[in-house]
Every structure is written in C-alpha cells, then in structure tokens.
Amino acid sequence: MSFLGTPRALDEVVAPSQDDPLARQASAAVGGPAGRHVRLGGNWWTPLRVILAVATFCFGLGVVQKSPCVVEDWAEAASPKAFSHMCYSDISYLYVGRGLAEGIWPYSPLSDLPPGRQPATEDEAHTLTLEYPVLTGLWMGATGLVTHLLGASPDVSDVPRGEIGADLRVQRDGAIFWGVNAVGLFVCLLVSLALLVKSQPRRPWEAMLIAASPSLILAAMINWDLLALVFVAGFIWAWASRRPVAAGVFLGLGVATKFYPLFFLGPLFVLCLRERRLDAWVKTSVAAFVAWSLVNVPIYLWSPDAFLWFWQFNASRGPDFGSVWLVASNYGHIASSQTINLTTVIFFGCACLAIGALGLFAPRRPRLVQLMFLVVASFLLVNKVYSPQYVLWLLPLAALARPRWRDLLIWQACEIFYFFAVWMHIADFFVEAGEPDWAYALAVGVRIAGELFLVWLVVRDILFPWHDPVRADALTDDPLGGVLDQGIDSQASVRDVELSGALSR
C-alpha cells in the first residue's frame, strides 16, 4: 500500500472535503465530507458555476469597499480621506493624471499635442506619460474612449492642467471610467477562473481559493492587475493542454501587460531541461517573443520616448511602498536607486539560481506552478516596491502551488494586515509625517513573513513530495505540467520518493 494516501482514479474529481483538512472540518456544518461515491458536478451547479458565483459576490464586495471614494468624488482619490477609508484606486486617479480626461491617447508623442497643451516642464511631460507596459496602456486608452462616449466628455482645452480634476463633469466621467474598468476587469476575473478550472478537470475547486480570497476583495480594483491574470491563466491552461505555441502567445501578451510573467520562462526551461523537452520550451519562448513584439514594436516605432518611459521609470525610482528598502530608508539607511537596483538584481539572481538547482536536483521533478510561485515570490520579497495589488500576482500561483485553505488563509491574513497598514502609513495615522513609522515597518515584516511561510511550505513539498497535496494520491504527477506530466522523470523518481516517504514515517 502506498504511503501517499488512498489512490484515486486519474479521472476522479477531487472534492475539497475529501482532500483538504480545513474543508473537511467546515463541511460538518452541512452534513460532513463528501462520500466516496458522491457525484460531483452532476447538476446545474457545476464547480465552475459555483466558483464564478462566489467570484461575482466577492468582486461585488470589492466594489462596495471602494464605494466611499465613488460617493465622495474621485477628484479626492489621492486625498488623506481616500487613504483613511482605504478606497484609493490608481484607476480613477490616473484618468486625470495621465491625460485621459483630456482625450490624450496613451503613448502619444507629446509633440503632437496642440501648442497650448504641450507640457511646460520635463516633470509635467513625465506625468502625462504612462509608466505601464503597452497592453495595459492600450486598455486604459480603450476604456477612456468608452468613458467619453458614455459621459459628458467636457472640452477642457482651455482649462489649466492642474485644475481639470476640479471640474464636476470630469469628476463624474472619472467615476464612469472607474465603472467601465470595473466591468472589464470583472470579465477578466471570470475568464481567468474559467481557464484555471478547465486547466485541471480533476481539481476544479482549487480555483475557489482565488475566487473567495479576501485579497481579491480588497485589491481587485486598485489597478489593472486582473488584466494580466487573464494571460497568466491562459498560459497555464494552454501549457497544461499541451499547446506550447498558444502558451507562448498568452505569455507574450502577459509580459506586454505586466512584466512579471516573463519570469515563468525560467522554471519552464529548468523543467523542460530535466525532462528532455527543450523543444517545447523553444516553441513557447519564440511564440512569446513574437506575441510581445507584435504589441510593442509598433508603439516603439510610433513613440520611442513614451515606450521607453516604463523601463526608465522603474530603473530610476527609489525605494517605494511595501519594501524592506523603504523601511530601511525611513530609519536613515538611505541608498541610491542604482545601489538598490544592483542589490536587488544580485539577490533575485541568487534566488533564481537556487530555484533552478532545486528544479534540477530535487528527488522528484517539481510541479511547474511550484517553481513559478517561488520565482515570483522571490522577486516580490527583494523588489524595491510592493504595492498592495501585487498580492494578485501571487494569488493564483499560491493557490495552485499549495492548495490548502489553512495555509492560504494564514498568508492572506498577513497580506490583509499589510493592506490596512499601508493606507494608515500614507495617511500618517500612527506617526507624524516624516517620522519613522514603526507600525508600517511591522506590517512590512508581517507581509514578508507570510510570503516566506508559503515559500517554506512549497520548498518542503518539492523536497519531500509526500507532503504535496496534489501528489498525495500516489498517482498524480503534475496536472498543469502539459508535456512534462507523467514524463520520464516521474516514473523513476516516484518509486524512490515512495520508498523515502515510507521509511520516514
């Protein structure tokens, strides 16, 4: 008998109350865990529909959580009131701040503006230039056009740029812009969850860890990170479906939306090398480069300065919210942005080398999403900024790498503590402006501790696979591994791991 647990058929749907200890305990309130012969998904309320319904409810709660800023007016979105109510959103703020209210299309050459509207200073030019990857900027421009069609779209060509936000019609249009984006990002969330459910039919309920996440409620409408989630989910689905070219297309579009999906190529290379499937990695990489280029090259040729500003902005920015670098700076340990950049690259590079070694030499080939999680978590741990919405980068990867309610809720509690603290810090709630904020430093430490907790669990699962919830049935290899799943590595290593686990009991 296998030490890994009771084997299931490879096509049997895994019920949460059968698989997760916390879900099993919670199921006592509704009659106990599902039995061995239960039929899952046989009625109208399939796992996918239940997950989408829960996601709809939670996203709605997130909209309500931001409602104080909607009711007041989005012109105050960067005021102390917005921070004390914790309803701040970049979406509304940037509608005016990046010229969308004026009808300026993202990445437009500023020299094309009418003479009276061209920026007078370099700082004003940078303010009007988007610091986001191209696909996010195009989304902003498209939703800005919809807003002008639905709203008042007042002529502000004669209004000084610093006074545009005070126009009541612009404020109403800002609320419409936020609402248009809320609808679009809600659709992105539903599509993402549907793709993740379809990615592993045996374990559809793991997507519930995302749909019911407290962090989703709090962070979904701060920025446009849910747009990137669609492409991350698309990459996972396409790779799991053994479509490396389609996976590359999704990956390239993801990098054109947020930079972090680029890191997925590293874990993919390591595992394809171990499994001797570098042909699949090459197909994915080439497709990703082509997809990214088709989106980015036209913008670069049209407006190279605006295109490069994303890279220049991130290279030149100093320590920012959520990072250990900002905490150190607040306590007098100030370093230049160049020093921080170099140190961050060194730390992240060392982490990537360690993750690569783990992927190559672990007793059993790690699951792809485990290494993806470790790489992104390592980047966020050492990066010079951790905005509250960055939790959405980790959320789907954490849910798939360590699908246990208890562990995810512990991590989420740390993230929620940080979420509340960052707004209180900006509002100078705990200390006077300019003084070291001990509460904020504590919150950053708690956030880092929560992420390290998950990192430790995932590394343990890799080194000792009998702890891995996904592989606990002795049959499953890597449901999201695509061409890697049930490969040459898994057949030989599973016997060694079973013996090691049996001897360790």
pLDDT in tens, 458-474: 999 999 999 999 988 77
Distance CA 138, CA 147 (A): 14
Please give the residue that has the higher pLDDT: either 130 or 493.
130
Q: What is the mean pLDDT of residues 363-390?
A: 96
The answer to whether residue 4 is domain-embedded is no
Q: Which residues form the domain of 230?
A: 16-26+48-504
201-254 confidence digits (pLDDT tens): 889 999 999 999 999 999 999 999 999 999 999 999 999 999 999 999 999 999
How confident is the model at residue 121, as a pLDDT? 75
Residue 336 lies in a domain: yes
**Confidence check: pLDDT of 86 > 90:** no
Q: Is residue 150 part of a domain?
A: yes
Q: What local confidence, expressed as pLDDT, does residue 163 receive?
A: 82
* 175 within domain boundaries: yes
What letter does residue 474 receive in the DSSP assignment? S
Confidence check: pLDDT of 7 > 50: no
Average pLDDT over residues 161-167: 80
pLDDT 10s digits, 245-272: 999 999 999 999 999 999 999 999 999 9
**Looking at the 3D structure of the chain, how many domains does it have?**
1
What lies within 8 Å, CB to CB, of 100 at 6+ separation is 94, 106, 140, 141, 144, 147, 177
Is residue 362, in this structure, part of any structural domain at all?
A: yes
Looking at residue 1, its pLDDT comes to 31
Under 8 Å CB-to-CB from 128, ≥6 apart: which residues? 98, 99, 104, 110, 119
Q: Does 136 score more than 80 pLDDT? A: yes
Q: Determine, yes or no, domain membership for 352.
A: yes
Phi, psi of 401 (to 5 degrees): -80, -35
Taking every pair of Cα atoms in the chain, the longest distance, rounded to a whole number of angstroms, is: 80
Residues 6+ positions from 252 with CB-CB distance below 8 Å: 287, 288, 289, 290, 291, 292, 293, 295
> How much is the pLDDT for 17?
55
End-to-end CA gap in the chain: 14
Whether residue 35 is contained in a domain is answered as: no
pLDDT for 6 equals 44
295-311 burial by CB neighbour count: b if 16+ within 10 A, else e? Answer: bbeebeeebeebbebbe
Is residue 9 included in any domain, yes or no?
no
Q: Is pLDDT above 80 for 169?
A: yes
- Provide Rg for the chain, Cα atoms: 24
Residues 6+ apart with CB under 8 A from 209: 398, 399, 403, 405, 408
Task: Report how far residue 34's alpha carbon sits from residue 22's, in angstroms, rounded to the nearest whole number.
Answer: 14
Q: Which stretches within 200-264 are classed as H helix?
A: 208-211, 214-219, 225-240, 244-255
Contact predicate 4/473, CB 8 Å:
yes
Does residue 41 carry a pLDDT above 70?
A: no
